[in-house]
């Protein structure tokens, strides 16, 4: 999902902007709390997935495909359902190495989404988050090395079993808050989440193997029971040095779908590598990130495109090689210094023949 798609998504989903939104106004009035934004991560236990923006919390690449670095600390993680006398709106609570946390949903009040942290007490306004009968839809927030995963679940879902990278299995059960069914858990960001399996009674509805990035686990695609997951692969789609700073962008394909990281401070995920495709042209960008010194882009190109040359406003040009992604078209990434605009692009095939041209892109 690119920034240029925001208006269309707003109209179709009736959600405010992308999942990167400002915290609710009433939360900002609480001086001792720290407001953050929710990141929507997954849709569908039945294999339905939506393109999502990964947010701005992943400034570096993970060292392995879809997995964080080796976990050396010992983590003891628990999760529990609310009981009698629990705080209003509590969805789940538990401990991480003996330190208690709780996850609450508060009245939506017409706000899209946002979370506020009071230590390990997390209050979230999940906006329009919902799920059809057999679906699980995760959104998440991160603070201080802990990821808080909140899921809207459908009427048929009775539990979700989440397995962490250290073998711990967490059993999540729905709690009704504000007329909707919710479940959630918390875990250290450095501890990978291996999988989640949803059930209706004893019947498995689907499973998800999340993408584990630097900011935690992202549940993007859910698969049917017994459905074979996509093989894992990684692709370097761009690298370079700008203003004396090296940058590198990669695409990671696997059971989660596909995630692109290293595009400035932004990343992008989709439920399938097939979602890497240009939008009605030989090439088009799907995410971008304005930074203090540069603007970064990640783009898709048709399979016939070998290189794309950009004419820049400073009179120079930039040629970028498009990289084939298994199961999709091609992808590439590049960065230009702040103040330099993209005047136009021209796409060429492997023989150097022009296959398309168009006006330049503007981030935002």
Q: What is the pLDDT of residue 301?
A: 98
Lowest mean pLDDT among 53-57, 216-220, 276-280, 312-316: 53-57
Q: What is the pLDDT of residue 304?
A: 97
C-alpha closest to that of 112 among 34, 43, 38: 38
Average pLDDT over residues 227-247: 94
For 133, the enclosing helix (H) or strand (E) is none
The owner of tokens 């925001």 is 6
Model-wide pTM > 0.85: no
C-alpha closest to that of 208 among 21, 81, 48: 48
Percent of the chain with pLDDT over 70: 78
> At residue 38, does pLDDT exceed 80?
no
Q: What is the pLDDT of residue 43?
A: 33
**DSSP assignment, residue 221?**
B
Contact 75, 189 (CB under 8 A): no
CA distance 183 to 159: 9
Q: What is the pLDDT of residue 128?
A: 65
Both tokens of residue 278? 């240009």
On average, the pLDDT of the chain sits at 82
Contact 129, 137 (CB under 8 A): yes
Q: What is the pLDDT of residue 106?
A: 86
Average pLDDT over residues 235-258: 95
Task: Delineate the domains of the chain, giving CATH numbers in brackets.
Answer: 77-218 (no CATH), 233-359 (2.60.40)
Q: What is the pLDDT of residue 3?
A: 45
> At residue 9, does pLDDT exceed 70?
no
CA distance 294 to 264: 8
For 224, the enclosing helix (H) or strand (E) is none
> At residue 35, does pLDDT exceed 50?
no
For 9, the enclosing helix (H) or strand (E) is helix 6-13
Q: What is the pLDDT of residue 65?
A: 47
* Residue range 173-215, pLDDT digits in tens: 999 988 899 999 999 999 999 999 999 999 999 999 999 987 7
Q: What is the pLDDT of residue 23?
A: 34
CA distance 63 to 198: 29
Higher pLDDT, 144 or 66: 144
Average pLDDT over residues 256-264: 95
C-alpha angle with apex 266: 265 to 268, nearest 5 degrees? 155
């Amino acid at each position: 999902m690119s920034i240029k798609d925001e208006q269309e998504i707003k109209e179709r989903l009736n959600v405010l902007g992308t999942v990167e939104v400002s915290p609710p106004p009433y939360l900002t009035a609480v001086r001792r709390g720290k407001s953050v934004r929710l990141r929507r991560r997954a849709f569908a236990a039945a294999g339905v997935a939506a393109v999502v923006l990964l947010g701005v919390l992943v400034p570096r690449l993970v060292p392995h495909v879809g997995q964080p670095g080796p976990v050396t600390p010992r983590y003891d993680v628990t999760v529990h359902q609310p009981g009698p006398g629990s705080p209003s709106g509590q969805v789940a609570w538990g401990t991480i190495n003996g330190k208690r946390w709780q996850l609450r949903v508060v009245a939506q009040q017409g706000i899209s989404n946002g979370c506020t942290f009071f230590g390990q007490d997390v209050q979230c306004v999940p906006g329009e988050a919902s799920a059809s009968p057999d679906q699980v839809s995760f959104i998440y927030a991160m603070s201080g090395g802990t990821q808080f995963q909140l899921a809207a679940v459908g009427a048929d879902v009775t539990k979700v079993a989440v397995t962490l990278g250290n073998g711990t299995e967490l059993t999540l059960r729905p709690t009704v808050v504000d007329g909707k069914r919710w479940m959630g858990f918390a875990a250290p960001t450095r501890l990978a989440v291996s999988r989640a399996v949803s059930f209706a009674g004893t019947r498995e509805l689907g499973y998800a193997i999340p993408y584990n990035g630097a900011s935690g686990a992202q549940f993007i695609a859910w698969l049917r029971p017994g459905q074979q997951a996509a093989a894992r692969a990684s692709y370097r789609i761009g690298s370079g040095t700008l203003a004396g700073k090296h940058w590198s962008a990669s695409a990671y394909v696997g059971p989660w779908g596909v995630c692109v990281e290293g595009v400035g401070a932004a990343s992008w995920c989709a439920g399938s590598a097939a979602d890497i495709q240009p939008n009605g042209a030989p090439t088009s960008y799907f995410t971008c990130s304005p930074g203090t010194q540069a603007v970064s882009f990640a783009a898709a190109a048709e399979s016939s495109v070998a290189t794309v040359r950009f004419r820049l406003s400073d009179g120079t040009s930039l040629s970028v090689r498009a990289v084939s992604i298994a199961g999709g078209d091609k992808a590439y990434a590049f960065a230009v210094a702040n103040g330099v605009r993209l005047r136009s692009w021209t796409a060429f095939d492997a023989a150097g023949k022009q296959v398309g041209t168009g006006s330049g892109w503007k981030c935002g």
